[in-house]
Amino acid sequence: MNFHAIRAIYLFEMARAGRTLLQSVVSPVLSTSLYFVVFGAAIGSRMADIDGVSYGAFIVPGLIMLTLLTQSISNASFAIYFPRFTGTIYEVLSAPVSYAEIVIGYVGAAATKSIILGLITLATASLFVPLQINHPLWMLSFLVLTSITFSLFGFIIGIWADGFEKLQLVPLLIVTPLTFLGGSFYSIDMLPPVWRTITLFNPVVYLISGFRWSFYGVSDVSVGISLTMTLVFLVACLVAVSWIFRTGYRLKS
């Protein structure tokens, strides 16, 4: 294992986030805080409790998940797309590193940034709404697992994209709508039966549900299913990444 290479890629990516602190940290935290202010503190006080949880507190796991998903994808996709765009990828491809080491470096850094952002968002939320975390270890597990899985997904998008527009396509047009419709702001039990069934095809439902359970002990679907679905998506991403490196898709001719 080339640990020096993994470290070099990881630190390089973390340093990039440090240079763009405003874009990397301040901007997502600010936008999520606005959700807390509007939906949590302002409107939330006039909303009924859901499953015994105040509305402001109810939406916290979903909003953290929204941050995790979008930031994991955006960090990882940009990290691998930018060297492809500028041509500096030649150095990584000609270095004595295995594909697994490249992925650990890039995805590890993207996931770390997302986890940090998720924790900052959580800390910010606690300023606006009363929070409780019934299962802190599970909460951290979901946080880490989701960050890694969606960073892998972002890495795949970064390889697939052949322009900055495509890079934004999946996070904006697929992930954000799925997160909003995946129970971030409501329990799917509140939906009519037909829509509830349709919603169960949305994979983000399982992520938010499992994550919310770790906070309040309530969930739309069982925690076991949530965990299984997250792991299935993780394995699917790993298979896709392995195929990319085996075939050299968009990396080597």
Supply 110's token pair.
């993207």
Q: Which is nearer to another protein, 90 or 195 (CB)?
A: 90
Q: Quick one: which of 7, 49, 190, 232 contacts another protein (CB under 8 A)? A: 7
8-47 residues near another protein, rule: CB under 8 A: 8-9, 11-12, 15-16, 19
Question: Reduced to 3 DSSP states, what percent helix, strand and coil does the chain have, rounded to the nearest 5?
Answer: 80, 0, 20
DSSP-assigned states of every residue in 160-211: H-SSHHHHHHHIIIIIHHHHIIIIISS-GGGS-HHHHHHHTT-HHHHHHHHH
CB of 116 to another protein, least distance (A): 21
Q: Which is nearer to another protein, 132 or 253 (CB)?
A: 253
Q: Quick one: which of 26, 34, 42, 95 contacts another protein (CB under 8 A)? A: 95
Q: Quick one: which of 22, 46, 48, 94 contacts another protein (CB under 8 A)? A: 94
On whether the CB atoms of residues 147 and 111 are closer than 8 A, the answer is yes
On whether the CB atoms of residues 99 and 240 are closer than 8 A, the answer is no
Mask of contacts with another protein, 42-81, x by CB under 8 A? ----------------------------------------
Supply 186's token pair.
């409501």
Angle, CA of 155, 159 and 160, to the nearest 5°? 115
Q: Does 96 bind another protein (CB under 8 A)?
A: yes
Residues linked to residue 50 through DSSP beta bridges, in sequence order: 53
Q: Using CA atoms, how far apart are residues 12 and 93, in angstroms rounded to an integer?
A: 16
Q: Quick one: which of 22, 48, 87, 165 contacts another protein (CB under 8 A)? A: 87
Q: Which is nearer to another protein, 14 or 225 (CB)?
A: 14
Neighbours of 161 (CB within 10 A): 21
Q: Does 252 bind another protein (CB under 8 A)?
A: yes
Q: Quick one: which of 18, 163, 177, 248 contacts another protein (CB under 8 A)? A: 248
CB of 91 to another protein, least distance (A): 6
Which residues are near another protein by CB under 8 A? 2, 4-5, 7-9, 11-12, 15-16, 19, 86-88, 90-98, 248, 252-253
